[in-house]
Structures are given as structure tokens and as C-alpha cells.
Amino acid sequence: MSKPVINIVADIGGTNLRIASLDSEGKCQYIQTYQCKEHPSLRSVIEDYLKKSEIDSSKSLVNACLAIACPVDQDLIHMTNLPWSFSKAKLKNDLGLHALHMINDYTAMAWSINELDEWQKVKIGGGEPVQHKPIGICGPGTGLGVANLIWGNGQWISVDGEGGHTDFAPTNDQEVAILSYLREKYSRVSYEQVLSGLGIEQIYQALCHVSDVETNNYSAADISKRAIDKSCDICLEAMLQFCKTLGSFAGNMALHTSAFGGIYIAGGIVPRFLEFFEESGFRRRFEAKGRFTHFNAKIPTYVITESQPGLLGASAYLTQQNINEGLCR
């Protein structure tokens, strides 16, 4: 008698780890969220989930797709924003997995795009998406994730990368001042230093420095709350600057690939203040590309509002791999 096939997926960020198993239709079930800092290793989290879900890898063929916030091209994985390191081969062996697929978290995000319904995203400006044209995805969270989808040979191909670590390029005097402030802290300033949770805090700190006012020990959540209720002028300016800088970055992505399929904003930050974001300077900065303003004006931008896009994308990826390998539940 053949062993039953069980599929599990995980979305592993620098702060949270979300993990689920798939039902017979490839939909996520038994979703659990773990705080990464509370666990010594990825293996310990997965073992805990398997135990609680009563999944025994010795009695089943367990296939896993783990989407993780770091490069995955080598066997030895070092997470960028978390002190976890492990060997992919050893992890597969230790957990007794039949198959282990490690993908970048924004590869999973890219795979989620064509799984989204209209109610799982919000359009912010631009024209209509053009079928089979490139799609870009970027998302501020603990870090800044980036990926692209390209159509080729009759299928979508995810192209991941580390675009969040490209050089921060200021476009006005205020951003020049922010860059100057951050260069006192870092030998090199990337977009991730301003487009992330830490980035919001550092923009706020830089603006306090420029204005010569006392800096409060505010978290990103504190700053966004005070910006939305307008109880702090510098917090408000910091969040507006964050949105505008994200607009410039997303607009650059659109230019890189002629992303007439659309640019999607993912990550855990922007959906929390969607109305504020829609009214900010994001879209104006997205289009503000000089002679190519008309080019970007046609490209639609979206915010992903689906709560588990990483799991959705990892599920789509694993389902396709199982089809390719002739596996079924």
C-alpha cells in the first residue's frame, strides 16, 4: 500500500513564520504563525508544527515548499534579518521529507499574483494590465523584498533577486538630507534602509535631526499611528516620505522591465494604512520619471491585501512541482 502524500508550505520572514498544510484542492489549512525570535532554528519550528498537526513523515510522503527571506541558491542558508543558518540537505534529512523546495520569499510572492482575486488587491492608479507583460513585486516589511514575473514559453517565470539592496537614490533635498544622515551610520545606504520597518524609524530619526528636535524612541508602528491621527508633524512627514520613496522605487522597477502587467506592493506594512497610502504621494512619485512620465502613467499599481500571499504563492509553486514530478495527494 502506497504512502499518502502530505504537502506543507511555509512563508518565513525575519519576524514571523507562517506554515500550513494543503487540502486536496491545494488550499491552505491548519495555518499557524510563529514568532521567529522565540525559536532557536527553522527545524524546531517545523518539527513543532508536524507534531501538533499529527503529521508523521515515516508514514507519509511529506513534500514541503519553504519560502524564505534570503538567497536560496546555495545548500547552506543564512537568513538576512534573522540569526538562523542551516543546510537544505540536512534539513530535508532531519525532518524525513520526501521533497524539499526552498524558494525566496518573493518568488512565492510572485507566484501568488496570478492566484489573487479582485478582493485580494487594491488598485492605485494607472491603466489596465496588459496580458503576458512583465509584472513587478516589491514589499517593505522587516526587509525589502523584490521579484518579477516574466512570460515565456507559455508559462510565467519568476525572477527573484535582491533589489532591495540596491543603492538608495535621493530625488530631492529632503532625501539628500536623509541620505547624509544615514551615511553617518552606514558605509553604504540601500533602499532597504528607508523602505522597511527600520526604514520608517530611520526616516523619522533623520527628519528629527534635520529639524533639530528631540528624537523620541518611536517604533515604526508608533510613527505610523501618530502620522495617521496627525498627532505628530514629523511622524506625518516621515510616513509621507516613506510612501513617496516607495513610489520612486516602484517606478524604477516599472522602467527596468516595462512592467505593463502591473507593479504590486506586498509586505506587512502598507496594507495597515491603505487609505493614508492612497492619498500620499506614492503614485505621483511612481509616475515622476521626467521624459518617461507618460510611460509609467500607463502602468497600474496594486497593493496586495490578501493576508497570506506568501503561503498562497508557495502553495501554487508546490502544486506545480508535484504536477511536474507526477505526485498527487
Fold of 5-105+309-324: Nucleotidyltransferase; domain 5 (3.30.420)
Answer with the residue of higher pLDDT: 1 or 71: 71
State the Rg of the chain over Cα.
21
Please answer whether residues 232 and 274 qualify as being in contact, where contact means their C-beta atoms are separated by less than 8 angstroms: no
**What kind and span of H or E run contains 274?**
helix 274-279
**DSSP of 82-132, one letter per residue?**
S--EEEHHHHHHHHT-SEEEEEEHHHHHHHHGGG--GGGEEE-SS-PPPTT
> pLDDT tens-digit profile of 166-200?
999 999 999 999 999 999 999 999 999 999 999 99
> pLDDT tens-digit profile of 81-116?
789 999 999 999 999 999 999 999 889 999 999 999
Q: Give Cα separations from 254 to 9, 47, 134 (angstroms).
A: 30, 41, 9
Q: How many beta carbons lie within 10 A of that of residue 131, not counting itself?
A: 8
Q: In terms of DSSP H, where are the helices of 115-258?
A: 173-183, 197-211, 220-228, 233-257
> pLDDT tens-digit profile of 28-71?
999 999 999 999 999 999 999 999 999 998 889 999 999 998 88
- What is the Cα–Cα distance from 184 to 145, expressed in whole angstroms? 25
* 107 Cβ contact list (under 8 Å, min separation 6): 67, 147, 158, 160, 313, 317
> pLDDT tens-digit profile of 146-166?
999 999 998 899 998 889 999
Q: Are strands 5-12 and 61-68 parallel, antiparallel or unpaired?
A: parallel
pLDDT band for position 327 (cuts 50, 70, 90): low
Domain ranges of the chain: 5-105+309-324, 117-305
Answer with the residue of higher pLDDT: 328 or 227: 227
Indicate if the alpha-carbon torsion angle 89, 105, 196, 41 is positive or negative.
Answer: negative
What value does the mean pLDDT of the chain take? 94
**What is the three-class DSSP state of 49?**
helix
**Per-residue pLDDT, 140:** 94
- What is the Cα–Cα distance from 116 to 194, expressed in whole angstroms? 28
- What is the Cα–Cα distance from 172 to 24, expressed in whole angstroms? 53
| Correct CATH for 117-305 of 1.10.3720.10, 3.40.367.20, 2.60.120.380, 3.30.70.141 | 3.40.367.20
- How far, rounded to the nearest angstrom, does the alpha carbon of residue 318 sit from its chain's CA centroid? 18
Indicate if the alpha-carbon torsion angle 51, 55, 61, 67 is positive or negative.
Answer: negative
Determine the average pLDDT of the residues in 130-138: 97
Is the pLDDT score of 249 beyond 90? yes
Please answer whether residues 313 and 281 qualify as being in contact, where contact means their C-beta atoms are separated by less than 8 angstroms: no
